Amino acid sequence: MSRAFVAGLGLCAPGHRGTATWSAAFPGLEVSEATGELLPPALRRRASSLSRMAAAVAGQAAHQASVDLSRVPLILGSAYGEIAAAVEMMREFGGPTALPSPTRFHNSVHNAAAAYLSIATGNRGFTTALAAGTATPAMAVLEAVALLEAIGGDALLVLLDEPPPGPFESAQPYPSAAAAFCLSYRPGPLTLAVMSEARRGSAPPADLPDGLERHPCAGAFALLAAVTSRRSATVSLGADGVGAWLVDVSPVP
């Protein structure tokens, strides 16, 4: 993997509707779940909270980087995807109709959020959805940068997860949260930071608030914190069965 340039950011987390309020401690803002304004009203009514969250952060990052959402390749990473919709769908089996509703079914697939974004923006280009447990941010970054190596230009990376509902809730709770990054093959006037080639190693955990250090995509929030700090840092994107994936992040004046 070669280096990539970060040109846009998006964030949706408790207390935040964007990166402007990001800090090591939440500001105590009352922020409800993402409304997904990027989605047309008809799509928004059918979309899950996870898909609306994906739309929120994708719109923020694309706007900051001035990329065309109808053309930019999209990589979505999520350890569990539409887990809440999937569990609700399974609960409908054995009910009065014995079959889930069509809306519940199509909202339960792993790439549902990517599909909603593609439909809303008219983007018929490259779109993919990945799952790799706690290594999901690392694998999604590798996918995005490999794509940039192949075709150049820009890529929009969205990383998100929501807590599984009962009876699958985690012993270490975490909030619903999402982050997005617009990555570019070359630097430009809107470039915020440069991200090095990924490597194996170890790094101290990032100082993340309110359970985000336990989030399956914690590496995405660590990366976002490094970019917004405007300081050079080594970031762990997450670990797989072999070890951690690290990147070095440096600000671009």
* Structure confidence by residue, pLDDT tens digits, 65-114: 999 999 999 999 999 988 887 777 777 776 666 676 777 777 778 888 99
CA distance 90 to 87: 5
Highest mean pLDDT among 28-42, 106-120, 138-152, 161-175: 138-152
Q: Give, as one character, the DSSP assignment of residue 213.
A: G
At residue 223, what is the residue type?
L
Q: Does residue 40 have a cis peptide bond before it, meaning omega lies within 30 degrees of 0? A: no
CB atoms near residue 125 (< 10 Å)? 12
- Residue 31 confidence class, pLDDT cut points 50, 70, 90: very low
Instruction: Report pLDDT for 215.
Output: 93
pLDDT of 29 > 60? The answer is no
Instruction: Report pLDDT for 24.
Output: 42
pLDDT above 70 coverage of the chain, percent:
89
Residue with tokens 């009065």, as numbered in its chain = 96
Closest of 137, 123, 112 to residue 51, by C-alpha: 112
CA distance 42 to 2: 40
pLDDT of 44 > 80? The answer is yes
118: enclosing H helix or E strand: helix 112-121
Residue 85 structure tokens = 């919709």
The residue among 73 and 165 whose pLDDT is bigger is 73
Residue with tokens 């989605």, as numbered in its chain = 39
Report pLDDT digits (tens) over 205-222. Answer: 778 877 889 999 999 999
- Classify 4-251 by CATH class: alpha beta
